[in-house]
Every structure is written in C-alpha cells, then in structure tokens.
Amino acid sequence: MTQRLFFDCDTGIDDSVALLYLLARTDVDIVGIASTAGNVPVDVVAANNLAWLSLCERGEIPVHRGPDGPLVAPLMTTEDTHGPLGVGYAELPTSDLVVADTDAPDAWLDAAQAHDGELVGLVTGPLTSLATAIRRDPSLPRRLRRLVIMGGAFHVHGNTTPVAEWNIAVDPEAAAEVFAAFGVDGAPAPIVCPLDLTETVALLPDHLVRLAAAAGSTPVEYPDPTDEAGIRSVADNPIVRHLVDAMRFYLEFHDAHDEGYLAHLHDPFAAMVALDPAIADTLPAQVGVELTGALTRGMTVADERGMWGGTPNARIATATDVDAVFDHLIETIASLARQIGGSA
Ligand code: RIB
Ligand code: CA
C-alpha cells in the first residue's frame, strides 16, 4: 500500500540520508517537503532539499520554505556539525528547481486536508513549521494518521545542552506546542525517536563500503580516521559519491567529539519508523518540554508512570534491531543509487 508522507526537515547530513531513503522507497508518495531552519538557515535547508531532489530526478516533489527562525528563541545553527552548507563535504550540483509559493506551515495544512486521515507526518528538525501550522489551524493534528518526531533525550545526556537534544533545543516553544496538540482530542500520539535510541543507530565506514558495493559503484572507498581530513570521494556513482562526502564530515565530527569514527543516523531511523512503526518497541508516556529552567530549557520530560495524573500523549521509541535497520537502509538507498547511476 502506498503511504502518503509529509517530510519536515532541517537538511543536514542525516536529514539528507533520510531523504534519500524516502526517495528510494517505491511505496511512498512524498506529498511535500518542509524546510525548517535548524542545522543551517532555512534557505540553505531548502537549497539542499532541492539539490537532492534534482540529483535524484524527483523535481516534481514540492519543497516549501519554513519560518526564518523559531517561535520565540533566536535561531541557532550548527555548521560545525553538518558543514558550512549543511551537507558535510558534499558539493551538490546546484539545482534549477525553486521553492514552492506555499510556505511550509500552509503546506502542512494543505497536505493534511488533501489526505485527511491518511497522511503520515515526519519531522526530523525543529518543530517550528509544524507548530506554526497548528497555530494557523488547530484541526491539523487530528487530520494526521501518524506523526513521527526525531527529537528529545530522556535517559541520556543531551547533544546540545546536558539535558536537551538539538531539534527540541532550537525551538522549545514549538516542541511544547506540538506535544500539547497531539495525543489528545482525536489526534494521534506522536512516536518520538529520542537520542536514547537514535544514538545506537551508528553508521560505520563498513556500512558505506557495503552501500557502495550494493550500488555497483567503483571504486569502493573505505573512509578511515587516518585519512587526510576532507578528501573527496571519487566514486563513479553520484549518489554514493555525494553521500560519502557528506558522511565523511559527520564521521570526522563524531570522532572529534570523542564518540568514535562513526555517525549517528538519527533521521533515517525516524524515517524508517514513520513508514513501519513496528520496527521499534515503544512505551506510552506523557511528554512535556521544559521552557523556563535556567539549566534545563529544552529538556524533554517523560512521565512514564502516570505521576502527573494526565494521560500519555506520546509513544517513545525505546528499542530496535540495529543490524536489521542498517541492512534495510543500505539495500534501499543502494537501489536508488543504482537507478540514478544508470546501473539499475
Ligand atoms: O539531535 C539530532 C537531530 O538534530 C538530527 O535531526 C540532526 O539532523 C539535527 O537536526
Ligand atoms: Ca535533522
């Protein structure tokens, strides 16, 4: 069955992998892509989305521009994590595609109304665009079939503050408004993919080797921490080449931050959950976002035991089969690479 999906992202390196995965899935109708400011400014996010779509010959998918910045907080970006243009060392061919006239919040509303009760929402960036859409039309949440959010950290250290995960920390007010609007009044409880789980989905160089080989790309390259920083891939397959260039930056970033020469694939995992929630174990919880704590602003707090007396408004993804996730991710993206690289 074809699933209709609306993708809201702050492309970004792992958002890019999520987008390639979604484009590779032949059973998914990507209704639209919302570009939300986060990893990089909104216009860079939009340009990256357009460039990937152009490379993958999918220019028919509309890309929408989100707000300039968060609802309240000043915008913070993280080029040190994702590269000056948000795609690591990749130098994507510039696209002649342009963003749609409809802005991202209205695109959310249009998609939800056009596919009332069918649409799967996936957010792998700050929740600014989605929260703005809900402010414009509070009926949006109950029109969605499913919402999956990559965000939050519950029982692990934050990656932006000691307690806050990036997507939430960029726009805590938006996250608070989204969590308050779902899991109530007929709106589905979002499936939340937090760092607790997404940091176990750690790409290693061998995964890139397997992907290149499965794509029929040559030469098959093995990024190594002893390589000269920033060397560019010479893979003959364009998807593999740009993906390796993007991932090499991410591998170097994690290595430089004592995580090891690996790359947390937060967003592709959330994309896989959006299409097949059964790949993750989940638990119900009431989730809130701290907004005023001097030390804890942006923290996601989960009441897993009913202490607050309310009802669960979210399901937190807690476990998955990481090997199976990578087997599927590699096979799926390799199929796209073969198609685009002409060796389908
Ligand atoms: O904390 C990880 C998340 O923040 C990922 O979505 C990454 O792309 C950044 O947006
Ligand atoms: Ca992201």
The model carries a pTM of: 0.98
- Summarize the confidence of residues 96-115 as an average pLDDT: 98
By C-alpha distance, which of 253, 221, 258, 252 is closest to 236? 221
Query: What number is the average pLDDT over the span 50-73?
Result: 98
Integer-rounded Cα Rg, in Å, for the chain is: 19
Burial class (CB in 10 A: 0-12, 13-18, 19+), 3: middle
- Rounded to an integer, the average pLDDT of 66-71 is 98
Q: Are 341 and 240 in contact (CB under 8 A)?
A: yes
Q: Residues lining ligand 2 (ion), CB within 5 A? A: 10, 12, 15, 124-125, 267
Q: Is the pLDDT of residue 127 over 80?
A: yes
pLDDT score of 343 more than 90: no
Whole-number Å distance between alpha carbons of 90 and 227: 17
**What residue ranges do the domains of the chain occupy?**
3-201+262-343
**CA 322 to each of CA 16, 128, 152, 199, 272: distance values in angstroms, whole numbers, following the listed order:** 19, 30, 19, 11, 12
pLDDT over threshold 80, residue 137: yes
**Fold of the CATH domain 3-201+262-343:** Inosine-uridine Nucleoside N-ribohydrolase; Chain A (3.90.245)
* Nearest-5° Cα angle at 31, 107 to 19: 105
Ligand 1, pocket-test mutation among 16, 123, 267, most atoms within 8 A of CB: 267
> By the 8 A CB rule, do 169 and 296 touch?
no
What ligand is nearest to the CA atom of residue 263? 1
What is the pLDDT at residue 342? Answer: 76
- What's the CA-to-centroid distance between 316 and ligand 1, angstroms? 17
248 CB within 6 A, ligand 1: no
What are 284-307's pLDDT values in tens digits? 999 999 999 999 999 999 999 999
- State pLDDT tens for residues 197-249: 999 999 999 999 999 999 999 999 999 999 999 999 999 999 999 999 999 99
